[in-house]
């Protein structure tokens, strides 16, 4: 067994990224919406936490029908978020603190307000070739366009094709109807997008996150009678080729890049992230978010299946490591509920404190690059909204109605939205106990969480027992320990269904990590002779049992 880790593993394994959902991070100009200057104002907080990269969600010109993931201009800042001067200032100040900016590039689709699509609507054949368009059936009329080209479902509900009377054509939109998919078979499209990357690199960007990037290569356009159509466009036939070209032509081969991989497989993510393939640095996969899907459907409410969670982590960690791939490890993002509510226990402040520490301990010691989502380092919870009118997310509002159309009561549908909605993670960061949680001096674009008066950054920064202080310890530990950065990983047989345990090894050193995902005592993996490496409890346990929500790692050197 090697006692030396590779240069790639040492670099990526020693970095921590922090996601900023810009609308909800910090409002600098009191209009109720977070902005670029708001991020600059909080850079010292982020530097103190110890993060290396800031992944910032889209702030480009957009009608904001999908929170900025409907881009109308890739090279300009939407005025609601500031100016290009504001961005350049942010890049300078972040780089001065040793923090790199990662921009979120939405290259599968644009907004229907983008100049390219507007020109396509006007009949320009050059720009109609930028999108995936199909003629209607013979005899169809604008009033009755007939059957869509395929029966694929949109991710946001309904059919994935929309008819444009102006063009007399159908256009594909895997997401919202206002988000037409780009046609990556067109080399002009690929060249345009590579140029967008070069533009932002020139403005000081040091990394990129690519939204649903494994959907860019569509396969055959045929009806799907086994599923919703995703098998015809996920991890398509030319996606590896397109990614290699984008990295090469965009000049980003030396930058940190991560792809959001929708409904992907381990095998594909190995290919996307193996260094010799010259594609992406790492991949986000979402299989661990399926463990609380009742009946296999996302829009459901169920207790997390911990044995399934353990097996999912084990498969992705071990197989990616064996084949040289690299994982982004994370509990949440702007598209998911808060993990302290979803996987922990937020019923009391005491249980929230300990479970919100156990969760990052579980993943921070895994192999990969950890991502922290804004407010996660504080233990923020789902906001406790009481009515559908408090939600803003187009997907959630659509599915609230769809679930009722399928037979659920209004209350049943709302309870699922309150548990699973993307907006649960999009409420403003809770900076202090003042009005609107210190995010803004005016009412924000979306409501603040119900517990901001006691759960906030000001209350946690100087508290050594806070969730924030624990995150700082974990980040410092990862930066200091080669065994965590690049050691081998092997999942251990669980001593109980609610326990996840694994081992990291490097040379003669090994670390055993074990986490109790329940509010009851559970048996522990034997740890005789080991020293406590890190624990979410202040006092050491007996080494034989795990206390409620306990996460503990032991080291042998």
Same domain, yes or no: 467 and 514? no
Catalytic residue among 27, 260, 346, 460: 260
Same domain, yes or no: 163 and 212? no
Same domain, yes or no: 17 and 142? no
2 domain residue, yes or no:
no
Give pTM, 2 decimals: 0.95
What are the CA-CA distances from residue 285 to residues 18, 364, 376 (Å)? 17, 16, 19
180 domain residue, yes or no:
no
480 domain residue, yes or no:
no
pLDDT at residue 29, rounded to an integer: 97
Q: Which helix (H) or strand (E) holds 553?
A: strand 551-556
CA 232 to chain CA centroid, Å, is 23
List, for residues 391-416, the tens digit of each pLDDT value: 999 889 999 999 999 999 999 999 99
1 domain residue, yes or no:
no
Residue 515: give its domain's CATH number: 2.60.40.1180
pLDDT at residue 527, rounded to an integer: 87
First to last CA, the chain: 15
Over range 466-479, report the average pLDDT.
Answer: 98
Cα(499)–Cα(548) distance, rounded to whole angstroms? 11
177 domain residue, yes or no:
no
Answer for the pair 16, 370: CB distance below 8 angstroms, yes or no. yes
* The two structure tokens encoding residue 191: 């060249």
- 344: confidence class by pLDDT, cuts 50, 70, 90: very high
DSSP assignment string, 218-277: -------SSSSSGGGTTT-TTHHHHHHHHHHHHT-TTSEEEEE-TT--HHHHHHHH-GGG
Cα(264)–Cα(152) distance, rounded to whole angstroms? 17
Backbone angles phi, psi at 313, to 5 degrees: -60, -45
Same domain, yes or no: 131 and 261? no
For the chain, the domain total comes to: 4
Same domain, yes or no: 62 and 209? yes
Percent of the chain whose predicted confidence (pLDDT) is above 70: 100
pLDDT at residue 11, rounded to an integer: 94
pLDDT at residue 541, rounded to an integer: 87
346 domain residue, yes or no:
yes
Catalytic residue among 211, 335, 376, 423: 211
* The domain boundary residue, chosen from 172, 200, 221: 172
Q: Which residues of 127-146 are buried (b: 16+ CB within 10 A; e: fewer)?
A: bbebbbbeebeeeeeeeebe
Same domain, yes or no: 232 and 372? yes
Residue range of the domain that includes 152: 115-172
Same domain, yes or no: 151 and 290? no
Backbone angles phi, psi at 505, to 5 degrees: -135, 145
37 domain residue, yes or no:
yes
Same domain, yes or no: 243 and 315? yes
Over range 235-242, report the average pLDDT.
Answer: 98
Residue 195: give its domain's CATH number: 3.20.20.80
Taking each helix axis as running N to C, give the angle between helix 266-273 and helix 239-250, from 0 to 180 degrees, rounded to the nearest 10: 20
Same domain, yes or no: 135 and 278? no
Residue 366: closest CA among 421, 326, 409, 397: 326
Same domain, yes or no: 343 and 462? yes
260 is catalytic: yes
* The domain boundary residue, chosen from 444, 472, 500: 472
Over range 161-173, report the average pLDDT.
Answer: 97
179 domain residue, yes or no:
no
- 2: confidence class by pLDDT, cuts 50, 70, 90: low
What is the 8-class DSSP label of residue 31?
A: S
* The two structure tokens encoding residue 533: 């490496």
pLDDT at residue 297, rounded to an integer: 84
195 is catalytic: no
pLDDT at residue 121, rounded to an integer: 98
pLDDT at residue 542, rounded to an integer: 87
- 540: confidence class by pLDDT, cuts 50, 70, 90: confident
Same domain, yes or no: 247 and 340? yes
Q: Print the SS3 string covering 72-120.
A: CEEEEECHHHCCHHHHHHHHHHHHHCCCEEEEEECCCECCCCCHHHHHH
Please count the other Cβ atoms lying within 10 Å of the Cβ belonging to residue 198: 12
Residue 396: closest CA among 415, 425, 422, 426: 422
Answer for the pair 433, 453: CB distance below 8 angstroms, yes or no. yes
Q: Does position 143 have pLDDT exceeding 90, yes or no?
A: no
Cα(549)–Cα(377) distance, rounded to whole angstroms? 17
Over range 129-135, report the average pLDDT.
Answer: 97
Residue 167: give its domain's CATH number: 3.90.400.10
Over range 153-168, report the average pLDDT.
Answer: 95
Cα(304)–Cα(287) distance, rounded to whole angstroms? 13
Which residue in this structure is represented by tokens 């509920």? 337
Same domain, yes or no: 404 and 422? yes
């Amino acid at each position: 067994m090697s006692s030396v880790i590779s240069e790639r593993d040492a670099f990526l394994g020693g970095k921590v990224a922090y996601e900023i959902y810009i609308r909800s991070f910090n409002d600098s100009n009191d209009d109720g919406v977070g902005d670029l200057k708001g991020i600059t104002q909080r850079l010292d907080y982020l530097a103190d936490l110890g993060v290396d990269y800031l992944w910032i969600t889209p702030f480009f010109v957009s009608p904001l029908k999908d929170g900025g993931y409907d881009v109308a201009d890739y090279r300009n800042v939407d005025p609601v978020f500031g100016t290009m001067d504001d961005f350049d200032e942010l890049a300078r100040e972040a780089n001065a603190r040793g923090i790199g900016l990662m921009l979120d590039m939405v290259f599968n689709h644009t907004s229907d307000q983008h100049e390219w699509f507007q020109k396509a609507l006007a009949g320009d054949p050059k720009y109609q070739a930028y999108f995936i368009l199909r003629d209607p059936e013979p005899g169809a009329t604008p009033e009755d366009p007939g059957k869509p080209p395929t029966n694929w479902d949109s991710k946001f509900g309904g059919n994935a094709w929309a008819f444009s009377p102006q063009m007399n054509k159908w256009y594909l939109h895997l997401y919202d109807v206002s988000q037409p998919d780009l046609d990556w078979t067109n080399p002009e499209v690929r060249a345009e997008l590579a140029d967008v990357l070069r533009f932002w690199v020139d403005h000081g960007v040091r990394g990129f996150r690519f939204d649903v990037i494994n959907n860019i290569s569509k396969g055959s356009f045929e009806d799907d009678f086994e599923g919703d159509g995703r098998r015809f466009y996920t991890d398509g036939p030319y996606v590896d080729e397109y990614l290699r070209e984008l990295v090469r032509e965009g000049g980003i081969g030396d930058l940190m890049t991560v792809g959001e991989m929708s409904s992907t497989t381990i095998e594909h993510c190995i290919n996307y992230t193996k260094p010799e393939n010259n594609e992406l640095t790492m991949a986000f996969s979402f299989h661990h978010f399926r463990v609380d899907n009742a009946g296999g459907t996302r829009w459901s409410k169920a207790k997390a299946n911990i044995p399934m969670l353990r097996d999912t982590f084990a498969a992705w960690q071990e197989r990616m490591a064996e084949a040289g791939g690299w994982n982004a490890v994370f509990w949440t993002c702007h598209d998911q509920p808060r993990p302290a509510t979803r996987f922990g226990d937020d019923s009391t402040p005491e249980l929230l404190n300990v479970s919100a520490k156990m969760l990052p301990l579980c993943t921070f010691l895994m192999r990969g690059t950890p991502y922290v989502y804004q407010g996660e380092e504080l233990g923020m919870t789902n906001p406790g909204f009481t009515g559908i009118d408090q939600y803003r997310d187009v997907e959630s509002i659509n599915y609230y109605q769809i679930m009722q159309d399928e037979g659920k009561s209004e209350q049943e549908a709302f309870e699922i939205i309150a548990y699973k909605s993307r907006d649960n993670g999009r409420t403003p960061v809770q900076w202090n106990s003042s009005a609107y949680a210190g995010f803004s001096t005016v009412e924000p674009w979306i409501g603040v969480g119900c517990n901001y008066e006691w759960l906030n950054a000001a209350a946690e920064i100087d508290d050594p027992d806070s969730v924030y202080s624990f995150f700082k310890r974990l980040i410092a530990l990862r930066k200091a320990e080669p065994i965590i950065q690049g050691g081998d990983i092997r999942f251990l047989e669980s001593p109980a269904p609610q326990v996840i345990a694994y081992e990291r090894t490097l040379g003669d050193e090994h670390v055993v990590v074990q986490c109790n995902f329940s509010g009851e005592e559970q048996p522990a993996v034997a740890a005789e002779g080991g020293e406590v490496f890190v624990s979410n409890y202040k006092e050491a346990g007996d080494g034989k049992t795990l206390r409620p929500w306990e996460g503990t790692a032991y080291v042998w050197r």
